[in-house]
Homo-oligomer: A and B are copies of this chain.
């Protein structure tokens, strides 16, 4: 007899489906396809030589510690480095824990805060990996729309009447839409959090990848500013960050910055989840990043990605029909295009594949229903020449799907 496994699965698993992006990325890995679908950093920018030098040094000088079990909170010098970097938020060592990328941070936050049936307030659209992480803990969603200035905070207060457990917000160069929450709205959102006692989970994987304009204060920093009289920072905000977009995603290193009582409970949960994140990758990342290397390296990434963004924006302007609109991200990896009424992004995806170009249709990024007319375009992974050629191909597909629409009798 064999166990009928599917009947043994816990109820929480029934809401979980494989990400459509994941399935779709398999199709788009054919070499002839120019893919704007993934969210991959440019591998040619990985600081390979520095990694080599550091791996050799770490394994010569520190292998007993680097290959051994470590503390659940993470490697202390790395935590201290992150605390120092975020000292504008008032972060100290006790506020910082290391995670296996931001995705584990989302999983642990879900485990910590969500009882089945709790509502989470999300942006429409939002990062679909967060929806995946939260849904397994029984989250339901309420959402508020975004525009070019990020989350429409003027509409958030009404949504807060449904008593969400927390708000999940990506303030900088949001995935998928590439938009940035304006400074005024940041203050408004932190105020709403404070007044309604609804914490904010601030996810900031892209903040350092700004290609123009001045950095805006994080929600955590604004919260700290507002609550100076309190003993400790992170009164209302849990802040998430990662090395995935600056050093390398293959390390799987992220962090959570929060109030000490939040961190200490998260550490207990992480202990049960994986004991700790790889000591080796933590020690290597710390040694690679230190002495100003990371800042210089991020400058280099910014220069390359800025150019790629500009090439994509120019190509869109040159090749796309006027009825299509798109965001103009000040940083990050993605822009977000909106197709005219009656044009379906899924249908376009099929035609685009025939033109050997790929993108991600927008639907999975919405907790509620979408109008089916969005596409997410990544500009960090392909080089300028391929970006231009890919947009040219995609424009052909857009034109032909628009012609189809016109030719269908009303």
With known contacts A2-B236, A43-B68, A64-B46, A250–B269 Cβ distance under 8 A: no
Contacts of A280 in B (CB 8 A): 248, 250-251, 281
CB atoms of B67 and A46 under 8 A apart: yes
Contacts of A66 in B (CB 8 A): 250
Confirm or deny: A408 has a beta carbon within 8 angstroms of a beta carbon on chain B. no
With known contacts A100-B274, A132-B272, A111–B2 Cβ distance under 8 A: no
- Pick the residue among B137, B250, B268 that contacts A278 (CB under 8 A): B250
Confirm or deny: A192 has a beta carbon within 8 angstroms of a beta carbon on chain B. no
Q: How far is the CB of A390 from chain B (nearest CB, A)?
A: 19
Give CA–CA (A248, B59) in the complex, Å.
Answer: 13
Contacts of A100 in B (CB 8 A): 100, 274, 277-278
Q: How far is the CB of A378 from chain B (nearest CB, A)?
A: 12
With known contacts A235-B1, A265-B13, A278–B275 Cβ distance under 8 A: no
Segment at the interface with B among A15-23, A145-153, A325-333, A353-361: A15-23
The number of times this chain is found in the oligomer is 2
* A residues lining the B interface (CB < 8 Å): 1-6, 8-13, 16-19, 22, 38-41, 43-44, 46, 48, 51-52, 55-56, 59-60, 63-70, 72, 100-101, 103-104, 106-107, 111-115, 118, 129, 132-133, 135-137, 165-166, 194, 197, 199, 227, 230, 235-236, 244, 248-252, 259, 261-262, 264-265, 267-269, 271-281
With known contacts A276-B252, A278-B250, A278-B281, A44–B67 Cβ distance under 8 A: no
CB atoms of B43 and A52 under 8 A apart: no
Give CA–CA (A107, B67) in the complex, Å.
Answer: 22
Given contacts A12-B111, A43-B65, A250-B278, list 13 more A-B pairs with CB under 8 A.
A8-B113, A8-B166, A10-B115, A43-B63, A51-B67, A67-B249, A67-B251, A69-B244, A103-B275, A107-B272, A133-B273, A249-B279, A278-B278
With known contacts A103-B275, A133-B272, A59–B52 Cβ distance under 8 A: yes
CB atoms of A40 and B68 under 8 A apart: yes
With known contacts A235-B3, A278-B281, A68–B52 Cβ distance under 8 A: no
Contacts of A39 in B (CB 8 A): 69
With known contacts A278-B278, A281-B281, A59–B68 Cβ distance under 8 A: no
